[in-house]
Amino acid sequence: MTATTAKPEKGYRWCDRCRRSFAPAEVVNGACPVCGGPTRSMGRLQAIARGIMSNELAAPDIRTKHRQLVRLIWTRNGMGQQYYRVIAPDLSYAKFEARVTELLCAGATEGWVRFVLPPAPSMDENEYRMEFLDEERFLAELEAAFADVVLHEDSPSPDAKERT
Ligand SMILES: [Zn+2]
């Protein structure tokens, strides 16, 4: 048996439930001061690294919010419905909207469309906008993205849809 328990606590205490660390002085009898659950001893660096990893785990939420923002911007002022009517795909509006949002996110990565945001949340909706740096590219991508679900009225053959 080694006398490890006799030493004064040097490291930090980590609570698995709250996913954060506490200074030794904040923890009484090993209980988390926030939730009262058990804590375990952890070196300072490890406690900091674990905190960073916890934030990392929350990152997909930011990505989801970012995608929602892109969707809100391009569908603004009934634009989503307008595109839907013009393209008239054999898809529900929700699926159409999701597909265009993905396309525009890819476009922003590739650089043919840009989403402009105000520096801080604003009441003026016009400050949230998208700008096409290459409109031709957008139209081509849009056509390609819905080629499988759009039946052109002027198609020479009624079997054209079968070829997909
Ligand atoms: Zn806790």
CA distance 76 to 57: 31
CA distance 107 to 32: 47
Distance 4 CA to ligand 1 centre (A): 24
CA distance 133 to 130: 10
User: Which H or E run includes 39?
Assistant: strand 39-42
CA distance 134 to 108: 11
Distance 19 CA to ligand 1 centre (A): 7
* Residue 9 tokens, joined: 């606590």
CA distance 52 to 44: 13
Ranges of H-type helices in 7-110: 44-74, 79-87, 93-110
Question: pLDDT below 50 — which residues of the chain?
Answer: 1-7, 157-164
The predicted pLDDT at position 6 comes to 42
Distance 13 CA to ligand 1 centre (A): 10
Distance 21 CA to ligand 1 centre (A): 9
Distance 58 CA to ligand 1 centre (A): 18
The predicted pLDDT at position 42 comes to 84
Cα distances (Å, whole numbers) of residue 135 to 28, 42, 53, 98, 100: 63, 55, 40, 20, 15
The predicted pLDDT at position 153 comes to 58
| Chain segment 20-59, per-residue pLDDT in tens | 888 888 888 889 999 999 998 888 788 778 877 777 666 6
